[in-house]
Amino acid sequence: MDTQKQKTNYLERQMKDRKKWDWIIGIGIVMAFLAGTVEYAKAQEAPSNFNTKTVPFFLACSTPTDMRDTLLEVHGEVAMIAGWLDTGNQYLLYTNKSGTTMSFVIHKSDGEACLIWSGMSEKGRAYIPNPSPQFPSDVLTERQPQIEDKWN
């Protein structure tokens, strides 16, 4: 057998072996991805007593400054409650002085503010602070939240 034919045979065997390993490695990567996806989905699973729904949802988004200025100018609303989350996202509840309008806004970590929900209350009940909140340590509940639940 000449040298050129030996090289060709050797390369053909190498390619067959490589194709076999590429397939096995590809399946391994897909399996790892699917396992990670399942774990992520499991971590985001709602409690069994919640109903989950997928619904069309309209969002009005702008810069946080434009959102704040528009809510103030158009509805006379100012932020009454705010929260900053570890993800870098923020939430704000705006209302006007008479409590007849409200807007719930999310400031996403990418710098965009989105109006999630807004509404009106003719009787001025759009914002009613809880005068004496009772937290789980003060109230008996059926089941105390467990740290390992890690839902939201």
Distances, alpha carbon 59 to alpha carbons 100, 101, 115, in Å: 21, 18, 6
67 lies in the same domain as 102? yes
Structural domain of 67: 60-120
Residue 128 lies in a domain: no
104 domain-assigned: yes
Q: How far apart are CA 116 and CA 60, in angstroms?
A: 7
Tens-place pLDDT, residues 91-125: 999 999 999 999 999 999 889 999 999 999 999 99
Higher pLDDT, 152 or 134: 134
Over the stretch 45-92, which tens digit does the pLDDT of each residue have? Answer: 778 888 888 888 788 999 999 999 999 999 999 999 999 988 889 999
Structural domain count, the chain? 2
Instruction: Identify which of 74, 76, 59 has the alpha carbon closest to the alpha carbon of residue 113.
Output: 59
